[in-house]
Amino acid sequence: MSAIWAQGLTKHFDEVRAVDGIDLDIAPGTIFGFLGQNGSGKTTTIRMLTTLLRPTAGSARVDGLDIRDDARAVRRSIGVALQEAGLDDVQTGRELLTLQARLFGMGGARRRGRVDELLAIVDLEDAADRAIGTYSGGMKRRLDLAAALVHRPDILFLDEPTTGLDPISREAIWRYVTRLSAEDGITVFLTTQYLEEADRLAHDLAIIDEGRIISRGSPAEMKARIGTDVVTVQVPAADALDRAAEVVGDVAGVERVQIADGAAVVYVPDGARAVAGIVLALDDAGIEVGDVAISRPSLDDVFLEATGHHLQVEEPQPAEGGAA
Amino acid sequence: MQSIATVYFLTLRSLREAVRNPAQEAGNVLIPLFFFAVTVGSIGSIAADAFGIDNFTGFQVPVAILAAASSISASAGLGTITDIQRGYFDKLLLTPAPRSAIVFGRIAADGVRTVAITAFIVGVGLIFGTGFDTGVPGLLVLLVGSFGFGMAYSGFNAAIALRTGSPQAAAAGGLLLFPLIFLSTAFAPKDVFADWLEVLATINPITYVLEAQRSLIIEGWNGFDILWGATATLGFSVASFTLTFLALRWRTS
Ligand SMILES: Nc1ncnc2c1ncn2[C@@H]1O[C@H](COP(=O)(O)OP(=O)(O)OP(=O)(O)O)[C@@H](O)[C@H]1O
Ligand SMILES: [Mg+2]
């Protein structure tokens, strides 16, 4: 049985096709990465799968349960940390976790033990009895993660768990997620707009753009699918870009050329050998060449190949992203 | 069973929030007491001659109670909106707890806060010599009633909060109930009213809540008034909770 399964899952807000018919089939125990830029439909997908939002069309099962017909049972099986850590400034961290545990029907010693254990796991023991309003952004994220884990869910949804965090806090969250998957066999559905995060954590990955899944597979598979090296040639004169692409396209061995962010992105099996020919051809055509870089394909190249544009990451204001 | 537990835990949470925000609770009680003092001070001495109310201070105590209840429920509407804006409301909705019980927890907490503030205002009244004609049993009846309309008020504000998610609308919602107090027999008995006001006061449920409270404080046991007060509170609650429920359904669909 799939941990998460969806078919034709769709959400339209009036004219906006936020999620436009996506299919999912995620095996239990997987860390599934859902990579996409701002507004691509990641949060909307999570809100539907976690029963907060009714789909416009399509169906989905989480832990084998229908998200419409068995919504309450779904909520029992899942833990969710939404994009904006949903916390209450007035309660203390311990009170929040305790209330959360109570609402999941956990009582007495079992509840107290679990709350203590989670506070230790996310390194919040010292701050446990302080009002959450005094926590830093990183501490809030960690508490939010703990709250999602109170009832030992089989499936964990994390919506951009590290966006806006400093590198140390980010590293801490990555460590917890990896450990949850490896030690407890939890299925993790994690959205992100960071290529590095998807690359590091995800066993299985889907790239979403404008509400549609445009590429599926493990990060390694996706990169292998490109099958070539990537030579990126900066062309300082913007009006020469199209002509540059044309010229480079005729160079022997070049499979494909794309234009993105003022550069010609050239897919070619052996980048090191081809680069001299590419630069010479441009020179012959009288096109000025800027920096040239050769690389193995990255997830960014996968993204670019599938969408025709680079992944745009918008960093939120650092106000919420305090220290760990 | 799970509903009751949910309401109980969320009531505790809201009460804890209230206790940790004493400035707000002080505002809820001081503003009505200010109006109380001003009303009694300005027309208290002529009330006996003008409309035959000897114990005008006691006559005004229920007005302060209702005003305090409306200001409590407005602050609770804001609390709901804060939860929605912070995403904490979503976190609660993501638990298997029944959703109406989640909303009702805060409403029940407002009932409790209204009971506490009622007891306080009655105490202030006693200091100023209002007396309490029906004694301790009457006070208990008054407190039970306060619990009821405190929740009814709160339900209206919860509905506005859930439907709009806007702090401005919630603040306005608190004010919505205020005119109802003025359109009742808050400051004088009905027989001195102009005709149009008398009609409005007669169809205004607040009038009956006020009269029931007054009867307990300055008149002695009056089954008729209490029954009408209870009926008005119940009707008010049914209307209020229906709106809350509809607003919740709207927000979660
Ligand atoms: N309640 C709503 N009403 C109208 N439009 C909405 C609503 N929620 C989301 N949208 C729109 O749907 C699209 C997808 O939004 P969504 O929040 O799912 O994107 P996202 O991938 O999570 O983006 P981000 O990385 O910024 O969080 C966007 O165009 C957004 O403006
Ligand atoms: Mg999002």
ipTM of the shown complex: 0.88
Question: Domain locations in chain A?
Answer: 4-221, 228-296
- Distance (angstroms) between ligand 1 centre and the Cα of B23 equals 38
Contact A99 B17 (CB under 8 A): no
pLDDT band at A322; cut points 50, 70, 90: very low
Is the pTM value of this prediction over 0.90? no
Per-residue pLDDT at A50? 95
pLDDT band at A316; cut points 50, 70, 90: low
Per-residue pLDDT tens digits for A44-64: 999 999 999 999 999 999 999
Residue nearest to atom 6 of ligand 1 (CA): A13
Q: Does A91 touch chain B (CB under 8 A)?
A: yes
Per-residue pLDDT tens digits for A235-266: 888 888 888 888 888 888 888 888 888 888 88
Contact A78 B94 (CB under 8 A): yes
* Sign, Cα dihedral of B48, B52, B55, B59: negative
pLDDT at A324 over 70: no
Per-residue pLDDT at B32? 87
Q: Measuring CA to CA, which residue among A32, A34, A36 is closest to residue A203?
A: A32
The answer to whether the A4-221 and A228-296 domains have the same CATH topology is no
Q: Does B6 touch chain A (CB under 8 A)?
A: yes
Q: In angstroms, what CA-CA distances link B48 with B69, B148, B194?
A: 28, 32, 19
Residue A212 sits at φ, ψ, to 5 deg, of -125, 145
User: Which residues in chain A have Cβ-Cβ distances shorter than 8 Å to B5?
Assistant: 102, 105
Q: Is A12 helix (H, G, I), strand (E, B) or coil?
A: strand
Per-residue pLDDT at A317? 53
> Lowest-pLDDT range, A20-24, A110-114, B24-28, B198-202?
B24-28
Q: Which of A12, A15, A20, A42 to mutate to test the pocket of ligand 1 (most atoms within 8 A of CB)?
A: A42
Q: Measuring CA to CA, which residue among B238, B227, B229, B187 is closest to residue B204?
A: B229
Mutation pick from B94, B102, B248, B253 vs chain A, by most beta carbons of A within 10 Å, is: B94
Q: Measuring CA to CA, which residue among A217, A159, A190 is closest to residue A33?
A: A190
Per-residue pLDDT at A133? 92
**Six token digits for residue B236:** 């008010």
Return the percentage of chain A with pLDDT > 70, whole number. 97
Question: Domain locations in chain B?
Answer: 2-251
> Lowest-pLDDT range, A105-119, A210-224, B169-183?
B169-183
Per-residue pLDDT at B235? 94
Return the percentage of chain A with pLDDT > 90, whole number. 42
A4-221: CATH architecture: 3-Layer(aba) Sandwich (3.40)
Locate the chain A residue with the closest alpha carbon to B19.
A90
Ligand nearest to the CA of A36: 1
Helix (H) or strand (E) run with residue B109 in it: helix B99-127
Give me the residues of chain B with pLDDT under 50, please: none
Quote the mean pLDDT of chain A: 87
> Minimal Cα–Cα distance from A107 to chain B, Å?
11
Tell me the C-alpha distance between A232 and A229, whole Å: 10
Q: Does A86 touch chain B (CB under 8 A)?
A: yes
Residues with CB under 6 A from ligand 1: A 13, 16, 18, 36, 38-44, 83, 193
A228-296: CATH architecture: 2-Layer Sandwich (3.30)
pLDDT at A220 over 90: no
Q: Does B11 touch chain A (CB under 8 A)?
A: no
